[in-house]
Amino acid sequence: MERESWNAEDKQEQGSRAPRPLWWYIATWFGCGLSPVVSGTVGSLGALPFAYPLQVYGGNPALFAASIILFFVGWWASNQYLKFTGRDDDPREIVVDEVAGQWLLLSVLPPTWHAYLLAFVLFRFFDIVKPWPVSWADREIRGGLGVMLDDMLASLYPILVYVIVLVEAYCLGNQKLLLPFINFLGGSHVH
């Protein structure tokens, strides 16, 4: 019997069936996608506690690599979820895409609460507003790839803003213009 989704109502039946498969935990990011409101925001928040130790102990390259690996794993998990539910759209329960996009953005920033807050707000903004080509990917690409791709593209907009600020300061020949920005993101150890 096909089910539309494994959700909160299923908890009543949970004792009578096998445990959920691995792809379900990945696609819903350990259940974050089951939030009855703003599941994408909850998924983005669920990305942060995993990102921080990866970034602190492995550095930005480790978090970048994890975001790319999670993109492909999320593509697979999303396809499995969509096949199970019989859907081809982007169900709100799937939030692994938010996690991969959030990690990609965080991989270019320092691991500070300031940077994480800024990254969270900017990522959510661009994921909700969906400027082109994010809106195109969201509308035109189906399946697990479509689920994952629009969020990875949404993370590129705040990265672009960050790069523009850095390049502009460098081109003006005055890195002191960057000090307020650098201090906000995490202080002098960022230089």
Query: 38-92 pLDDT, tens per residue?
Result: 999 999 999 999 999 999 999 999 999 999 999 999 999 999 999 999 988 889 9
Task: Give 173's contacts (C-beta < 8 A, 6+ positions apart).
Answer: none
Higher-scoring residue by pLDDT: 53, 175: 53
- Cα–Cα nearest to 62, from 93, 103, 26: 103
Domain spans of the chain?
Answer: 22-28+35-190
| Residue 111 DSSP symbol | S
**pTM reported for the whole predicted model:** 0.84
Helix (H) or strand (E) holding 55: helix 39-85
Calpha distance 178→165 (Å, rounded): 8
The first and second tokens of residue 126, run together, are 């661009």
- Cα–Cα nearest to 50, from 114, 125, 100, 109: 100
Residue 188 is predicted with a pLDDT of: 46
- Cα–Cα nearest to 96, from 60, 160, 150: 150
Residue 184 is predicted with a pLDDT of: 56
Residue 9 is predicted with a pLDDT of: 44
Q: What are phi and psi of 95, to 5 degrees?
A: -125, 5
Report H helices in 86-178.
96-106, 113-129, 134-140, 143-171
* Most distant CA atoms of the chain, gap in Å: 67
| Residue 110 DSSP symbol | -
pLDDT tens-digit profile of 86-141? 988 889 999 999 999 999 999 999 898 988 999 999 999 999 999 999 999 999 99
